[in-house]
């Protein structure tokens, strides 16, 4: 259990292959506005579109 992890909170875990190529604003907007199941795919697509030169991993965890 993660202290302070409350119902409907999200954790986004990524590798530097994503965070080096996608802005924090894009990450936030995507997580906030996209269907949660589509978030990893959308973020990987954006990283690839921006050069995608490294391994890209995205994990989204929602506390239900």
pLDDT digits (tens, 9 = 90+) for 20-34: 999 999 999 999 999
Q: Where are the beta strands (DSSP E) in the chain?
A: 10-14, 58-62
Q: Taking the model in full, what pTM does it have?
A: 0.88
The pLDDT value recorded for residue 2 is 66
pLDDT for residue 62 is more than 90: yes
Taking Cα atoms as reference points, which of 64, 63, 20 lies closest to residue 43?
A: 20
Report the pLDDT averaged over residues 35-58. 96
pLDDT digits (tens, 9 = 90+) for 1-19: 667 889 999 999 999 999 9
């Amino acid at each position: 259990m993660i202290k302070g992890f409350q119902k409907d909170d999200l954790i986004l875990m990524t590798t530097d292959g994503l965070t080096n190529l996608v802005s924090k604003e894009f990450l936030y907007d995507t997580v906030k506005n996209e269907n949660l199941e589509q978030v990893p795919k959308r973020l990987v697509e954006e990283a690839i579109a921006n050069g995608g030169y490294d391994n890209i991993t995205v994990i989204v965890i929602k506390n239900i």
